[in-house]
Amino acid sequence: DAVGILVLESDPDLQWRLARMLTVQGHRVVAAGTADGARALLAEWGCDLVLVAEHLHGADGMSVAEDLRRRFPDIPVVLMTKRTGDSVRAAATRRGISATIARPFRWETFRAVLASLTPAPVR
C-alpha cells in the first residue's frame, strides 16, 4: 500500500532529507539529481507520483516537470517551489503540472497534496 515516489532534486542534502522523510512515512522512494536520470527511472521503475524541485542544476524545474507530465501522462507531477501565490500555481496548471507545494512545507500540507493525487492511502 506504499506510494511509489520519485524525487527529482539536484541538491544531494535536500534530496536525501526528502527521500528519508518519505521513506520513514512508509513510501517507496527513488531519487534522481537530473532530468535525464528522472526520465530513465520513470521508464524503468514507474511510480505513483513525481516530486520535482523548481530549481535544478542546469535546468528549470517547471520545464522539466512539464516534460515529465507530457511523457508520462498517467503519473502526477508536483512542483516544489519557494515561490508562493496564484501566479506560480496558474503557470504550473497551464503547463499540465498536477500541483505545486511551497517550500519549506509542513508534513500535513505535503501529505494532503500526496493524498489528493495518489491511489494508495498516504500516511
Q: Give alpha helix (H) positions in the chain.
A: 12-24, 35-45, 61-71, 86-94, 107-117
The span from the CA of 83 to the CA of 68, in Å, is 21
Residue 123 falls within a domain, yes or no? no
Q: Quote the percentage of the chain above a pLDDT of 70.
A: 95
Residue 52 sits in a domain of what CATH number?
3.40.50.2300
* pLDDT digits 0-9 by tens, 24-48: 988 999 999 999 999 999 999 879 9
Kindly report whether the global pTM for this prediction surpasses the value 0.85.
Answer: yes
Q: Which domain holds residue 24?
A: 4-117
Q: Quote the number of domains for the chain.
A: 1
The neighbouring-strand residues paired with 77 are 50
